[in-house]
Amino acid sequence: MALADGRSPCGGAARDGGRGLIRGLCVALATGLYLSYIPRAVPGLGGWKWTHERRWTGAGLIGSLEGLALAALLPRDPWRLALLLAAAIVAACWICGEAEKALGARDDSRIILDELVGFWTAVAFLPGGPASWLAGLVLFRAFDAVKFAPIGWLERLPGGVGVVADDVGAGLAANVVLRVVQAWAPGWF
């Protein structure tokens, strides 16, 4: 795998004070340990064009599924969950910003760490387990794809904050909808 300037993600670490190594690690984390490269490698998935500007690569779904797979590890204690979620969002902003620089593209579709923290936001502090997580996954993906205002506006923020903020916004919207559904139909999930 090469970065935007053709270098290896870890190449030149000694010459640049370890910056290449740090950016390489950020690319690895931001791409879900390179899981987001899978749709590009599968024939027919590497860029299904659905509008004149955007291409569906499936990478965002992979990031959301990664969040779903790790959801069971989220702490049940609300304070610990709040601390973990806040730390994950702040770390994701920095990591995604560094990966964005390394990959050479604004909000590169290979960056999926934002989907992971967005999904965690969607299911944070909700009772339940797999059923609410699946409902959260569907709602989060829908809000993330549509990006209605003000979620779409968050994307315009600079660097990694813009990469992550729209997904956290989509997660918050999904979380609110799930809470409303749970209030109206408590036994539904």
Q: Comparing C-alpha atoms, which of 17, 24, 18 is closest to residue 2?
A: 24
- Look at residue 42 and tell me whether its pLDDT is greater than 90: no
- Evaluate whether residue 2 is within a structural domain: no
Whole-model pTM? 0.80
pLDDT digits (tens, 9 = 90+) for 158-179: 899 999 999 999 999 999 999 9
CB 55 within 8 A of CB 48: yes
- Evaluate whether residue 169 is within a structural domain: yes
Quote the DSSP letter at residue 73: G
User: Which tokens sit at 102?
Assistant: 């390394």
Q: How many folded domains does the chain comprise?
A: 1
Q: Residue for token digits 């903020």?
A: 165
- Evaluate whether residue 12 is within a structural domain: no
The Cα–Cα gap between 83 and 14 comes to: 35
pLDDT digits (tens, 9 = 90+) for 133-157: 999 999 999 999 888 888 878 888 8
- Look at residue 180 and tell me whether its pLDDT is greater than 90: yes
- Evaluate whether residue 114 is within a structural domain: yes
CB 170 within 8 A of CB 120: no
- Evaluate whether residue 143 is within a structural domain: yes
Residue-range definition of the domain harbouring residue 52: 19-184
